[in-house]
Amino acid sequence: MDIIIRDHYEAMSDYATEVIAGYVKSKPDCVLGLATGGTPIGVYQRLIQMHQQGLDFSQVKTFNLDEYYGIGMDLEKPYNLDQSYARFMHEELFKHINIKKENIHIPNGLTKEPESYCQWYEKQIEKVGGIDLQLLGLGRDGHWGFNEPGSSLGSRTRLQALTEQTLDDNYEAFYKKSNIPKDQMPYFAITMGIGTILEARNILMIVNGAKKAEMVAKCLEGPITSQITASAIQLHSGRITVVLDKAAASQLQHSNHYVHVEKLKRDYGL
């Protein structure tokens, strides 16, 4: 695991953007797994800037981790629902870059048959040969996607009930400013499972802020447990890059070691 610690959010976003851009440049038809939320916004802004300077997304395929159930892409009017993750992705990234619409995959929160739909979503990932690089944030309850505490570490794409903490966080981040009452928020989501995420060949997790520091330490240095589903990162067999700002890294026991390893690898060109 490469654990990279940077002074602040901007520097964290710079580093993570370079990782993603590196994949796109070296494999122009790469498959990216993408996340929503506040954390990746800086990365998406930088990817847009890089696109303006020539970074080409015309062959890139993307799969998003999750979508609220009951809202989402209306197939007739694709991005008409303000709080859907489909809309978020469109506004924050897709409408600004030259990605092809048919190469974008976001779980359809409007499906009437979630079980068969989720199996279909998994098949689509399989059909393109799997995800090359999965971008991830970290929920305050330790979730990846919407894999809330208690989700099996082998779980697949499915319908998942959201915890109260996640509902509170989402309300603060997205719904409050639009004056949408809490009882009208979706209580379920479609999410890739932990087992699905672990099949991505490479993982890039970004986390910032003191509010997440305790969870970062538990996830990276604590025991692997379904109570902190992102702790499954310790089981991943591909290349793992975790980029943190100082505040998020502040409760790590071994941060000196991670800084030392990063320096060594840089010095030796690894």
Binding test (CB under 6 A) with ligand F6R, winner from 5, 47, 50, 65: 65
3 state DSSP class of 215? helix
Q: Does 144 bind ligand F6R (CB under 6 A)?
A: yes
Binding segment toward ligand F6R, per CB under 6 A, in 32-40, 97-105, 115-123, 194-202:
32-40
Secondary structure tally for the chain: helices H, strands E: 8, 10
Q: Does 88 bind ligand F6R (CB under 6 A)?
A: no
Binding test (CB under 6 A) with ligand F6R, winner from 107, 114, 139, 142: 139
Instruction: Indicate which residue of 141, 169, 199, 245 is catalytic.
Output: 141
Q: Rounded to the nearest 5°, which phi and psi values hold at 50?
A: -65, -35
Q: How many CA atoms lie within 13 A of 19 on its CB side?
A: 25
- Told to judge if 8 belongs to the known catalytic residues of this protein, a careful annotator would answer no
Asked whether 253 and 177 are in contact (CB, 8 A), the reply is no
- Told to judge if 267 belongs to the known catalytic residues of this protein, a careful annotator would answer no
Q: How far apart are CA 85 and CA 107, in angstroms?
A: 9
Asked whether 167 and 185 are in contact (CB, 8 A), the reply is yes
Instruction: Indicate which residue of 122, 148, 169, 199 is catalytic.
Output: 148
Q: Does 37 bind ligand F6R (CB under 6 A)?
A: yes
Contacts with ligand F6R, residue ranges (CB under 6 A): 35-39, 65-66, 137-139, 143-145, 173
Q: Which residues form the catalytic set? A: 66, 141, 143, 148
